Amino acid sequence: MNYYLAIDLGASGGRHILGHLEEGKLLLEEVHRFPHSAVRRDGFLVWDVELMFGEIVKGLEKCAAFIKDGKLVSIGIDTWGVDYALVDKNGELIEPVFAYRDSRTEDFLKTSMPFPELYKITGTAFMPFNTIYQVLADKAAGRLDRAAFLYQLPEYFSQRLTGNLGKKEFNEYTMATTTGLVDAGKKVWAEEIFNKLDLPLRLFKPLREPPYGIGSLGAALQKSTGLDPRVVMIASHDTASAVSTVEEGSLYISSGTWSLLGVTGAPVLSAAAREANYTNEGAHNGRTRFLRNIMGLWVLQSVRHELGDVHSFAELEALAREAEQSVPPDWTIDLNLPAFMAPDSMIAEIKAEYSRCGKRVPETTGELIFSIYTSLAACYKAAILDLEKVTGKKYPAISIIGGGSRDSYLNTLTARYTGKKVCAGPTEATAVGNLLLQMKASGDPAIKDGFAKIVKKSFDIKEYTGEGQKVI
């Protein structure tokens, strides 16, 4: 029996999900889970990549006990976008590895290329943490002078697993498109941008669409784990892997720390798309994910943590449902404001925004959580109205995938606010897409009919209206 391992790294934790097919159904088993987060060092927000790689190895060492009468064919790693590691000619990491929420890019947001000019080429929406601004910050700090390679994070960890860090032939297409440095139409690095901003193209390799293998697990790790899999570059941007489980042309929300709302098709580089703050990122099939970043469950996670993590998410949902009965109508704020990116106190910032808007300030925990839920649903509605206006198309339903698809109350409010049917699941969409792409790379005949067929057979999809969950 063939097994595949998806290593899904999020901004607050990672998981190792082992997958295999039985009678056409994809079965998943969690092997390892670990927390991690950006840490403050020398005044900067950075990633502890040694901790993360140590946990990646620890999860691999656990895998052998889960594999029965079969073999581990391959490993694929996905992460969030935009962040990267610089490596010198000897394969040594140039520390630190900055986290996207760090403020070091603030002085580099206005470049010699006006943003409308950049958008016409890349179709990348403006975000202060975009890779392009991080690279400009590194250039000013002299960090690029020592670098021989720029690995985006899944490339760095994957190459390190092979033992060949410091060797690199390609940049994985879906992750590269999060940089703001790729020509969206031509699907190559935008040399015009590199030339005008005097950035070193030597750090970047030709783009390649996933999936493709980059080598076997390194000899030392083969010995310590007892495994001999290939390391595969799947659609290494987590949303690209997740969206590979959605049927072409469907409206989706990949719901997690961020909410990524969009459709897959051709790139849209119009002024209307730019003004609506939609971005163009790569999909596994060479298509484009036309989407908007919405703050997502980061706000809820932050508030829960600020409250001491004493409430489960289910308890918070129940408190929000109860609070709904006593709050004013249209009681929402814009959660996409920069103030909610990384505040010292998310609770204080939410209350301050209600006060600035002249609306009643949330008082109880239930009201606070309800305000987040209803404001997220309102953000989804606004984003969909913009999407339909820009594309000239109407979408009757929304596929909500990822961990946030478990949140029945948010699903209900989304259906209520948008007036659209909501289909929720699979919750493990990123890992599922990661695994299916590995199967494609291995030539597994089980996927010949496409990913959607396996997803429908393997996972329960729940349907919601504005009144709640509907049995289907």
Check if the beta carbon of residue 245 is closer than 8 Å to that of residue 429: yes
- 123 phi/psi in degrees, rounded to 5: 65, 20
Q: Which of 381, 403, 385, 408 is nearest to 463 (CA)?
A: 408
Tokens linked to 97? 């590895």
Tokens linked to 102? 């760090």
Cβ-proximal residues to 256 (8 Å cutoff; 6+ apart), any chain: 10, 296, 297, 402, 403, 404
Residue position matching structure tokens 């997220």: 376
Q: CA dihedral in degrees (202, 152, 289, 201; nearest 10)?
A: -10
* 366 Cα distance to chain centroid: 28
* 363 Cα distance to chain centroid: 32
**What's the CA gap between 1 and 69, in Å, rounded?**
6
- 236 phi/psi in degrees, rounded to 5: -80, -10
Q: Which amino acid is at 358?
A: G
Peptide bond into 426 cis (omega under 30): yes
Known catalytic residues are 238
Tokens linked to 38? 């950006």
Helix (H) or strand (E) holding 55: helix 49-63
How would DSSP label each residue in 376-428? Answer: HHHHHHHHHHHHHHHH----SEEEEESGGGG-HHHHHHHHHHH-SEEEE--TT
**What's the CA gap between 283 and 211, in Å, rounded?**
11
